[in-house]
Amino acid sequence: MRKTLLRLVANGAAIGTMWLLAPPLLGQDEPPSQPGGRGGPEGRGARGGRGGGRGGRAALPPAGPVKRMADGKPDMQGYWNAGNNGGAVFEVQKHPRRMQSLPAGDGAIVDPPDGLIPYTAEYAAKAKDNFDNHLADEPELHCYESGLPNQMYRQFGFQIFQPAGYVVMNWEFMHAVRIIPTDNRPHSVPASAKLFQGDSVGHWEGDTLVVDTTNFNDRTWLDSAGNAHSDQMHVVERFTPADERTIRYEATIEDPRAYTKPWKVAFAFNRNMQPNYEQMEFACIEGNTDVLHYTPDAGGKAKSGAK
Amino acid sequence: MRIQLTALMMVAGFASAAVAQKGYTAPRTPDGHADLQGIWEVAKSPDRDLEASKLIVDPANHKIPYKSEALAQKKENAKNTVANDPLNKCFMPGVPRINLLSYPFQIFQTPDYVALAYEYIHNFRTIYMKRDRHLPDIDFWQGDSVGHWDGDTLVVDVGDFNDQTWLDKAGNYHSDQLHVQERYTRIGPDLLQYEATVEDPKVFTAPWKIRAELKRDTRPNARIMEYECQYLAEEAAKKQGK
């Protein structure tokens, strides 16, 4: 297994976990390059590293208060990146260094206090099997949307739009989308509808956007390490802007089949302060050869095994 | 439901002369523009064959004005559309094809953007309303979209295409010189007129134009669902033991 993953790093082409390991991606605090919007002199190719959004922070004045929409609700529109979340995209729970490619981290779980997912026996076994035998089945390697809460700590950032009656989120990664109506509507898709991103309905409680999401399928993972949920998952999220550049985020995850009790993640989103930043088009399946880089013992299709 | 559908079809028929329903004025967004927001789907998808669909309104013969060598390429494409159609690989459809599939999409408007969220493989187009030119030296599957208002019509200029998408299932195609001007006009409460003028000096002898009508999903609390092509293809392959 270890050799399999080393081979992956050498190929350097995977979409999921391994993308994050490319040197430019680890440089989260490196200065951003200008994206060359508005027909500026620099081509888009000059963009360089993907650490975007946090660079230049030292030169910024203190953050102002939360921006407001005309109706007084917080204005969260703009580009955002998941802030420090203890390596949740690798593994959402507190984790030791699993192997070369999955470094140790505290994860993003704040409840229970041990930082671990309170699995049922069935789903503890499923997660272990995913990690031991099926890393090439990581849904993102197959260009699937990430589901919750995984979507919220996925890389490359996202844009929030607030048209009347909705909060819409669009990630550059996999052009994933969440459409959240905020008109107090009930869930109205049938229970039989099983969706990668679930069915989200939202409402405002003061300055906090509360989003209730049901109707998940069981085909998404919680992270790149194979942590799992069933189609009984129910997620309640709270987005609370703290200032113009920060949104505090909490998600409570319950799933009576997979977990013995609800558990909670918390971290923050940081506003991308690059002027003229735009998201680019992330083509996934259009050029995806990831499973060709995984050896058969990891569920992939590489012609030669790891030697 | 049947009565409602019939009524909708009658409305679509009456409006097909590209005239707004009598006395209709679109509602306004807070910044005063026509409100096009809602979930829309083409009334009758022309995707099987754009030319046969007769949605090409210019030229009058409904034919795409190919250059002779390009027509040969189209005929080559048509020999094996199952293998060659990029949609059969779950690729992004490009523009205008994505608006003309039998899958709905939702329009959102803010002062700075119009966003189009598609049920078809969660494709998403951001139309930049505050940028007036295309990005230099880059190609996109879905092109780069910049928009402005011509009265109550949203006009979107789409450029920066790659040459990897087709225009329909029949092998109609374009080069990376494709340039599309789209016009979105709400001509009734539940009807959106969509026009696309298509030009590509490498492939066509002249610009040509599509006109189609999109109907609105009027069900309460309607939402677009998920059509995840790659997932469905993989599940089907598993069932066949591949």
Q: Are B98 and B238 in contact (CB under 8 A)?
A: no
CA distance A170 to chain B (A): 8
Phi and psi torsions of A286, nearest 5°: -60, -20
Minimal Cβ distance to A179: which of B29, B106, B126: B106
Nearest-CA distance from A204 to chain B in Å? 18
Name the burial class of residue A236, with classes exposed (0-12), middle (13-18) and buried (19+) by CB atoms within 10 angstroms of its CB: middle
Chain A residues close to B225, C-beta within 8 Å: 189, 193, 195
Residue of chain B with shortest Cα separation from A42: B136
Backbone angles phi, psi at B12, to 5 degrees: -60, -40
Please state, for a pLDDT cut of 90, what percent of chain B lies above it: 88
**A168 and B133 in contact by Cβ < 8 A?**
no
Is the pLDDT reported for residue A22 higher than 60?
Answer: no
Helix (H) or strand (E) run with residue B39 in it: strand B38-42
Alpha helices in A163-285 (DSSP H): none
Average pLDDT over residues A73-92: 96
The radius of gyration computed from the CA coordinates of chain A, to the nearest angstrom, equals 19
List pLDDT tens digits, range B159-194: 999 999 999 999 999 999 999 999 999 999 999 999
Task: Give the residue-averaged pLDDT of A24-37.
Answer: 35
Tell me how far apart the alpha carbons of residues A33 and A46 are, in angstroms, rounded to a whole number. Answer: 7
pLDDT the model gives residue A16: 47
The count of other CB atoms within 10 Å of the CB of residue B179 is 18
Q: Cβ contacts (< 8 Å) between B37 and chain A: which residues?
A: 163-164
* A49 pLDDT tier (thresholds 50, 70, 90): very low
- Rounded to a whole number of angstroms, the distance from the CA of A77 to the nearest CA of chain B is 10
ipTM over 0.85: yes
Chain B residues whose CB is inside 8 A of the A185 CB are 221
Q: What is the pLDDT of residue A291?
A: 61
Given a cut of 80, is residue A20 above it in pLDDT?
Answer: no
- Read off the pLDDT band of B21 (50, 70, 90): confident
Q: Is the pLDDT of residue B13 over 50?
A: no
Per-residue pLDDT, A302: 64
Return the SS3 of A191.
Answer: coil
* DSSP track, B44-60: S--TT-HHHHT-EEEST
Interface contact flag, B110 A161, Cβ < 8 Å? yes
Q: What residues in B contact A73, CB-CB < 8 Å?
A: none
Would you state the pLDDT for residue B20? 67
Say how many residues make up chain A: 307
As a whole number of angstroms, the distance between CA B202 and CA A175 comes to: 30
The amino acid sitting at A40 is: G
What pLDDT score does A59 carry? 76
Cβ atoms A241, A66 nearer than 8 A: yes
**Residue B182 φ/ψ region, left for φ over 0, alpha for ψ in the -120 to 50 degree band, beta for the rest:** beta
Residues of B whose CB is below 8 A from A281: 140-142
Q: Is the pLDDT of residue A55 over 50?
A: no
Q: Is the pLDDT of residue A196 over 90?
A: yes
pLDDT tens string B41-55: 999 999 999 999 999
Q: Which positions in chain B touch A37 (Cβ < 8 Å)?
A: 131, 135
- Look at A264 and B9; give whichever has higher pLDDT: A264
- Tally Cβ neighbours within 10 Å of residue A11: 15
Give the three-state DSSP class for A21.
helix
Rounded to whole angstroms, the Cα distance separating A179 from A202 reads 10
pLDDT at A58 over 70: no
A122-126, A260-264, B18-22, B208-212: the lowest-pLDDT one: B18-22
Stretch 124-153 of chain A: residues touching chain B, C-beta under 8 Å: 142-145
Q: Is the pLDDT of residue A271 over 60?
A: yes
Nearest to B115 among A143, A161, A185 (CB): A161
Cα–Cα distances (Å) from B62 to B16, B55, B142, in that order, read 16, 7, 24
Selecting from A39, A161, A286 the residue whose C-beta is nearest the C-beta of B108 gives A161
pLDDT at A32 over 90: no
Q: Determine whether B147 is exposed, middle or buried from the number of CB atoms within 10 Å of its CB (0-12, 13-18, 19+).
A: buried
- C-alpha distance from A111 to closest chain B C-alpha (Å): 32
The tokens for B86 are 């990029």
- Give yes or no for residue B19 having a pLDDT over 60: no
Q: Which tokens belong to B209?
A: 């134009």
The tokens for A205 are: 């409680």
DSSP E strands, B119-240: 124-128, 144-150, 153-159, 179-188, 191-199, 208-216
C-beta atoms of A283 and B141 within 8 A: yes
Q: How many contacts (CB atoms, under 8 Å) link A and B?
A: 105
> In chain B, which residue's Cα lies nearest the Cα of A46?
B137
Q: In chain A, which residues have their Cβ closer than 8 Å to the Cβ of B226? A: 145, 195-197
User: Collapsing DSSP states into helix, strand and coil, what is residue A28?
Assistant: coil
Which sign, positive or negative, has the C-alpha torsion B127, B131, B133, B136? negative
What is each CA distance from A63 to A59, A158, A266, in whole angstroms?
12, 20, 21
Query: For residues A102 and A18, what is the distance between their CA atoms, to the nearest angstrom?
Result: 9
When the pLDDT of each residue in chain A is averaged and rounded to a whole number, the result is 82
pLDDT tens, position by position, B147-158: 999 999 999 999
Q: Which of these, A74, A78, A41, lies nearest to A208 by C-alpha position? A: A74
- Are A30 and A49 in contact by the 8 Å Cβ rule? The answer is yes
pTM of the model: 0.86
Interface of B with A (CB under 8 A): 29-30, 37, 89-92, 106, 108-110, 112-113, 115, 117, 122-124, 126, 128, 131, 133, 135-138, 140-142, 164, 220-221, 223-226, 228-231, 234
The model's pLDDT over A156-191, given as tens digits with 9 standing for 90+, comes to 999 999 999 999 999 999 999 999 999 999 999 999
> Closest-CA residue in chain B for A184?
B221
Query: Higher-confidence residue: A59 or A172?
Result: A172
- Spatial distance between the Cα atoms of A275 and A38, rounded to a whole number of angstroms: 11
Q: How far apart are CA A223 and CA A294, in angstroms?
A: 18
Q: What is the reported pLDDT for A57?
A: 52
